[in-house]
Amino acid sequence: MPDLFHRVWDLQVGTIRIAGEGAGEGGERASLDCAFEVQRSVAREPNTASVKIWNLSPSHRRALDSSASLALRVSAGYRDAIGSLFDGDVRVAESHRRRRLHRSAVSAHGALRGTRDIVDVITEIEAEDGGTAWRTATVQRSFAAGTPVTTVLAAAVDAMGIGRGNLAELSADATLRGIDAYSEGTVLSGQAHHEVDRIVRGLGLTWSVQSGGLQLKRAGQPMATMAVVLSPSTGLVSSPSIDADGYVTAVSLLNPSLYPGRPVDLRSESVSGSYQVRRQTDTGDTAGDDWYSEVTLEER
């Protein structure tokens, strides 16, 4: 079981990197504080991330305000268990100033020595996982008779500008519902994500973009990987709840092993069973208490 106390984070936007560990427990701190919220799901629409960074230098703020396309990567976890939460494109980056009152130290007689205003500069970043490619990428290609389905799918994925993810693993499953090649050839034409969707649906699969790469899985089934055990001893921090549609909501200490499609063995007094992650929100604050993963689970 990983050490769930020594927080670690690594955030990179463009050429700016903020990494550290600790958050009030005596460990090494990064020179800048940051907070993040990453929302992911098994849906085809892009995952999103919101990041706040305190007191970036003027030159770094100008770099974020440039028109250049910037990548945002968010990794977080613990000293022996850090993982990628988000890898995508910056959509908006804005900075603003906020005043706060700072109380000076108390004198030996218990009186305040005074107060003063401190101005924080907060940079807020909004990003999407594959969002730019989702909106703009197009593809126009034709393929001869006998071309493997996975070759055509790879071309559509490449046109989106995302990684192929676990496509190679699905290629090993040669039958793919009995269709492993286009007997009469085929054509890709139009928005790349529409073409990916058309091919994937025809194979009885579902897809999403996770950390900049394609994630394929069987419809209604979890990823083919070992289940994460979620219990009070592994970080579960509150009693899970079940909504009217049968979905379970559970909150744990931030867990980089969780991601959409991951199978989960939930073990609690109120709810237990075999599930898979449908939606997930990871929140962190390097200067505060937030360091949680909230997951919506469905039965598997």
Separation between Cα atoms, residue 124 and residue 54, nearest integer Å = 9
Q: What is the pTM of this model?
A: 0.82
- pLDDT tens, residue by residue, 12-38: 999 899 998 875 444 445 568 999 999
Q: What is the 3-state secondary structure (H, E, C) of the chain?
A: CCCCCCEEEEEEECCEEEEEEECCCCCCCCCCCEEEEEEEECCCCCCEEEEEEECCCHHHHHHHHCCCCCEEEEEEEECCEEEEEEEEEEEEEEEEEEEEEEECCECCCCCECCEEEEEEEEEEEEEECCHHHHHHCEEEEEECCCEEHHHHHHHHHHHHCCECCCHHHHHCCCCCCCCCEECCCEEEEEEHHHHHHHHHHHCCEEEEEECCEEEEEECCCCCCCCCEEECHHHCECCCCEECCCCCEEEEEECCCCCCCCCEEEEECCCCEEEEEEEEEEEEEECCCCCEEEEEEEEEC
Confidence of residue 300 (pLDDT cuts 50, 70, 90): confident
Q: What are the tens digits of pLDDT across the range 251-275? A: 999 999 999 999 999 999 999 999 9
Question: Is a pLDDT exceeding 60 seen at residue 225?
Answer: yes
How do residues 103-124 score in pLDDT, each as one tens digit?
Answer: 555 555 555 555 666 778 899 9
Give CA–CA dist 156/166, Å, rounded: 15
